[in-house]
Structure 1
Amino acid sequence: MENRHIGPFTVANVALGCMNFCHAYGSPVSTEQSHAVLHAALDAGVTLFDTAALYGFGASESLVGPVLKPHRSRITLASKGGMAGVRGEDGVMRRVIDGRPRTLRRNCEDSLQRLGTDVIDLYYLHRWDQRVPIEESVGEMARLKEEGKIRALGLSEVGTEALRRAHREHPIAALQSEYSLWSRNAELGTLAACKELGIAYVAFSPMGRGFLSGKLQGVDGLVKGDIRASMPRFAPEAYARNLRLLAPMQAIAEKAGCTLAELAIAWVLHQGEHVIALPGTTSVDHLLEDVRGGGVRLDAAVLAELDELFKPEAIAGDRYALQAQGEVDTEKYPFEKR
């Protein structure tokens, strides 16, 4: 893997997202398995680890903190606030988007405690609470930086206009949004804006939530609690149509001398020197495959083939259902539902 830059940090071009251990894809994996993936990532040269207050309602931060603590001097630790779990009067934890300054401060302080660290290297606004001017949320994050609780600011799933507004309030080090061969909304503005402003683009779900690995050949086996079951492009009919893209992708991978997963990671990284791939996994083997993708070089002909095969209009189904679409500020293609 080569190194790339996020604000003041130099990191490997493939990072590790720590959501999968305990959030969004069904039952949490064992602590032992999670720790095995984290240690394998450290051994493989991964230097950026990404978690959030939301993931498992704090469980991910509590899990990764002790493992990463002995390595803090050589890694970059990222977390997020502004979307976290809140316990209702019925005792049930629910996800709440809240970008008010006092909430962000509380989220950050809770994250510091769970992670067992004095400072979070890169702290993101997980979702822009559009009831709150983005300048107010970013302003509070800037104060947290002044107090030494965080070192750099990031945003997640915002569009170009909000990104520019936030960057005028305080320099933004990173924008984290979904970006892969089958989710190319970044190309509608934010990818170019990040390059212009010197902001790293941290591409989450570069594997298309497992689709681009070729290992998920059907959606009938998705377990209860797997968020993909509510995503339009994972609906059975849409997914069956999307699967037709994998055979020609496999042919391209064979010409390039790599696996589907390595090809998917490499394509993302070829979209700009400011792009960092952020896959998540609970498998050591999958982790190592992702890392190998960070070293694959693709020529212009291969990139052109992939761009043509995965034209946005060729993908069946939106990336989010309507409610979730309303929670993100990213640019949308004309054919996506609003």
Structure 2
Amino acid sequence: MVSKRRIGDSQVYPVGLGCMNITHAYGPPLPEDEAKALLVRALDLGYDFLDTATLYGFGRSEELIGEALKDRRQEYFLASKCVLGFKDGQRTLDARPETIKAACEASLKRLQTDVIDLYYMHRPDPNVPIEDSVGALADLVQEGKIRMIGLSEMGEEHLRRAHAVHPIAAMQSEYSLWVRNPEIAIKAACEELGVALVAFSPVGRGFLADPPVDPDKFHKSDLRGTIFPRFFPENYSGNLPLLEEARACASEVGCSVAQLALAWTLAKGGNVIPIPGTTSLQHLEENWKAGGIELSEDMVARLDAHFLPEKAVGPRYNQIGQSVVTTEMYDFETSQ
């Protein structure tokens, strides 16, 4: 029996479902019927933590969840995000209290629900003190429109300042064998404060798979070709040798490389919950099964040593992407 993991006062299966790629970021959106079928299949398998955002597909990800799953709302823990939004087809960044409250109302309508279990600030807003933004989220808790507050892509200082205003249930950070930045500070801070660490892109945006994604085949709308330099031609070939050891370890464990990557995140702490996204029913099931894979301490140490942060070739984000996050960086990253 797989033990569930805690987010605030709730318990969820150790692997959640990220709902970005069905509408957004890695190429064209899934056809509507396929996206809805994937969401239904996720619940049928036993996924009970769905993570979406206002930004994904400019609201379409939320709408698909509402349309496909409104009659099964009691079966899953629902998370969405505000602050990164959209207006006239363009992305916006706005954490003013009135904007957060309006965004929540819009998300509730798209999701066809009365309450969002976990509502994150998708990014910090440099023009609004985080205390003001969290104060607005606390009002939404009091009004019963959201149950818990989360943060995303923020560092320890923002977490502690936010937590002083209202308990923070979850911090979402990119965390994988290929991206170890939470280990600088935020992981320990989450453990200290009783905050769940929700690991997004735990399969390295498709890098930690066998075979890994092929940048030469990216659709023109795939953000990996423009925002994430590790996938750029001058960097990607230098990262591929990292996978040789991952394949060897996966063979020893008896799982896929993607499952190994997920099992590694699960081994990094009982408060870590990976949320891989996928457009594939096969990968959906494969990721689900990773929740039951336990790695030995020796295997975790071996993977830690092989995937040292400085071995990754290229920065995590381009300059624009990095400018809107406050997750701590390694010293070597600041010189890249």
Q: Same fold (TM over 0.5)?
A: yes
Mapped pair 1:168 → 2:164: yes
Q: Does the residue aligned with 1:135 lie in a helix, a strand or coil? A: helix
Correspondence for 1:33? 34
Mapped pair 1:308 → 2:305: yes
Correspondence for 1:326? 323
The alpha-carbon distance between structure 1 residues 118 and 217, as it changes in their structure 2 partners (threshold 3 A), is: closer
1:72-111 correspondence to structure 2 within 5 Å:
72-87=73-88, 93-111=89-107
Q: Does the residue aligned with 1:46 lie in a helix, a strand or coil? A: coil
In 2, the alpha carbon distance for the partners of 1:38 and 1:116 equals 15
Mapped pair 1:182 → 2:175: no
Aligned partner letter, 1:301: D
CA contact 1:318–1:337 (8 Å) conserved in 2: no
In 1, the alpha carbon distance for the partners of 2:296 and 2:212 equals 27
Correspondence for 1:250? 247
Mapped pair 1:238 → 2:239: no
1:139-288 correspondence to structure 2 within 5 Å:
139-230=135-226, 231-288=228-285
In 2, the alpha carbon distance for the partners of 1:113 and 1:221 equals 36
Aligned partner letter, 2:45: A
CA contact 1:180–1:208 (8 Å) conserved in 2: yes
In 2, the alpha carbon distance for the partners of 1:172 and 1:217 equals 35
Q: What displacement does 1:71 show?
A: 1.7
In 2, the alpha carbon distance for the partners of 1:268 and 1:140 equals 32
Correspondence for 1:12? 13
In 2, the alpha carbon distance for the partners of 1:178 and 1:264 equals 13
Correspondence for 1:129? 125
Q: What displacement does 1:237 show?
A: 2.3
The alpha-carbon distance between structure 1 residues 217 and 198, as it changes in their structure 2 partners (threshold 3 A), is: closer
The answer for unaligned runs of 5 or more in structure 1 is 88-92
In 2, the alpha carbon distance for the partners of 1:151 and 1:268 equals 26
Across the aligned residues of Structure 1 and Structure 2, the Cα RMSD in angstroms comes to 1.0
In 1, the alpha carbon distance for the partners of 2:23 and 2:67 equals 16
In 2, the alpha carbon distance for the partners of 1:306 and 1:79 equals 32
Cα offsets for 1:13-69 (capped at 9, x unmatched): 100011101111111111121122112211111100011110011011111112222
Aligned partner letter, 2:175: Y
Cα offsets for 1:223-254 (capped at 9, x unmatched): 11111002110011211111111111101111
The alpha-carbon distance between structure 1 residues 337 and 227, as it changes in their structure 2 partners (threshold 3 A), is: farther
Aligned partner letter, 2:78: L
Q: What displacement does 1:218 show?
A: 2.7
Query: Which of 276, 293, 296 does residue 293 from structure 2 map onto?
Result: 296
Q: What displacement does 1:74 show?
A: 2.3
Aligned partner letter, 1:78: A
Aligned partner letter, 1:15: G
Aligned partner letter, 1:219: P
Aligned partner letter, 2:314: G
- More moved, 66-75 vs 292-301: 66-75
Correspondence for 1:61? 62
Correspondence for 1:90? none
In 2, the alpha carbon distance for the partners of 1:279 and 1:6 equals 17
In 1, the alpha carbon distance for the partners of 2:234 and 2:191 equals 37
Count of matched residue positions in the alignment of Structure 1 and Structure 2: 333
Q: Does the residue aligned with 1:57 lie in a helix, a strand or coil? A: helix
- More moved, 32-41 vs 44-53: 32-41
CA contact 2:14–2:266 (8 Å) conserved in 1: yes
Q: What displacement does 1:217 show?
A: 4.8
CA contact 1:217–1:243 (8 Å) conserved in 2: no
In 2, the alpha carbon distance for the partners of 1:113 and 1:243 equals 43
In 2, the alpha carbon distance for the partners of 1:303 and 1:50 equals 27
Percent identity of equivalent pairs:
52
The answer for unaligned runs of 5 or more in structure 2 is none
Aligned partner letter, 2:278: T
Q: What displacement does 1:214 show?
A: 2.4
- More moved, 208-217 vs 313-322: 208-217
Cα offsets for 1:144-163 (capped at 9, x unmatched): 11011101000000000110
Q: What displacement does 1:215 show?
A: 2.8
CA contact 1:218–1:239 (8 Å) conserved in 2: no
Cα offsets for 1:269-293 (capped at 9, x unmatched): 0000001011000101001111111
